[in-house]
Amino acid sequence: MNGTHRAVVRAGGTLSVARRPTIAPGPGELSVATVYAGLCGTDIQILRGLRDDPAPVIGHEGIARVTAAGAGVPEAFAPGTLVAVNPTHPTDPSFLLGHNVDGLLQERTLLPGSAVTGGMVLPLPETTDVTLAPLLEPLAVVRYALGELAAFTPATLLVVGDGVVGHLAVRAAQRWLGADIRVVLVHHTEQGRAFSAASAYSADLTLAGSPAVVLDGPVAALLATPRDATVAALELALAARADVVDIVGGLPPGAATPLLPGVDMAAVRSANCGGLPDPARITMAGRVRVFGHRGVANRHLREAAAELAREPGRYRDLITHEYDLDGAARVMRTLARSRDRTVDGRRLIKLSIRITGVH
């Protein structure tokens, strides 16, 4: 394999579609062609300079096909195999796809041997609907979160954050928390609340801003906010008398709240990575239990894939925008300089990037 391929590249403070060398896989490595990929909230934070992740090519959500396999790679990854990549290695911090390793927003991605031998590449059935690829990893995050919260048998699920993870949590709540769960979704804008109100799968109660609300318990809270909004979201959940809180969104350095004195919030979140330990490590802070997590286990990805195959129509409309590489780069430049989530006249929930034609 040689030649070049197209990629969305960050360089010199700019973002553009450029050609990059296509490198043949060495022993144990895989080369994959992304079919569809998604843009994540952490990707947007990278574009805005809120994170210093070094990879020039971002993107960790997507589905790809194997184009070439290096010597020693198992036959399960023969060229043509449809795969997903678990972006967060639970024990090897040198593999964080789209963060410290070049990601999927390119026509070819070289996956290191550590990702293959570490089980981070998952073959998918040929029947997989690849157009739902941008929802696979975030739904796996929701599966992880709701699976841990289910242990506390909540009567109410409080979701703070109206990005794709928040909306997926609302739609999957009955599936993984039981049919009787009451779901409350807190938006940060009225525009977001209007999007939910128009949905066939809205929460039982939608709120905007930072409402003072006390909910029927037991209350489980899922915080799906950008890192600069997580502390405020946590304080809202505590004010609502949440019994257990899952910090799904990131945290700024030194994050703390006087409502949980002495609790190292960053340590709470980093205590669980890639599905380990199992069950998740949880911190008792007075009357409330708090935990967080980075990444998911492979089982969460498989269960998310099964859920998307079982009821695709429940989730499909969350992909609100789809573009090729050039169109996606244009949208990404817009998102980098503005917090407005109205793109081409519509509210952006999930951006899907159509990259290759190797379906």
The C-alpha angle 37, 93, 272, rounded to 5 degrees, equals 85
pLDDT, one tens digit per residue, over 273-283 is: 999 999 999 99
pLDDT of residue 122 exceeding 70: yes
Average pLDDT along the chain: 94
Check residues 120 and 215 and name the one with the higher pLDDT.
120
pLDDT band at 244 (very low <50, low <70, confident <90, very high): very high
341 SS3 class: coil
pLDDT of residue 302 exceeding 50: yes
Give the pLDDT score at 359: 44
Evaluate whether 91 touches 46 at the Cβ level (below 8 Å): no
Q: Provide, rounded to the nearest whole percent, the portion of the chain with pLDDT above 90.
A: 88
Give the pLDDT score at 79: 97
Specify the DSSP element, H or E, that contains 298.
Answer: helix 298-310
pLDDT winner (highest mean) among 9-18, 146-155, 185-194, 260-269: 146-155
Tell me what the mean pLDDT of segment 208-223 comes to: 85
Beta-sheet strands, E only, within 209-247: 219-223, 244-247
Give the pLDDT score at 12: 85
Tell me what the mean pLDDT of segment 196-213 comes to: 87
pLDDT of residue 213 exceeding 90: no
Evaluate whether 152 touches 220 at the Cβ level (below 8 Å): yes
Q: CB count, 10 Å around CB of 6? A: 18
Give the pLDDT score at 345: 93
pLDDT of residue 2 exceeding 80: no
pLDDT, one tens digit per residue, over 314-343 is: 999 999 999 999 999 999 999 999 988 899
Which residue in this structure is represented by tokens 């066939």?
200
Give the pLDDT score at 188: 86
Domains delineated in the chain: 4-134+315-354 (3.90.180.10), 136-292 (3.40.50.720)
pLDDT band at 253 (very low <50, low <70, confident <90, very high): confident
pLDDT band at 96 (very low <50, low <70, confident <90, very high): very high
Q: For the whole model, what pTM was predicted?
A: 0.96
Torsion of CA 190, 294, 201, 173, to 10 degrees: -130
Q: Whose CA is closest to 28, among 80, 84, 92, 71?
A: 71
Give the pLDDT score at 318: 98
pLDDT of residue 305 exceeding 60: yes
Q: Provide, rounded to the nearest whole percent, the portion of the chain with pLDDT above 70.
A: 99
pLDDT of residue 228 exceeding 50: yes
pLDDT, one tens digit per residue, over 6-17 is: 999 999 888 999
pLDDT, one tens digit per residue, over 15-74 is: 999 999 999 999 999 999 999 999 999 999 999 988 889 999 999 999 999 999 999 999
pLDDT band at 224 (very low <50, low <70, confident <90, very high): very high
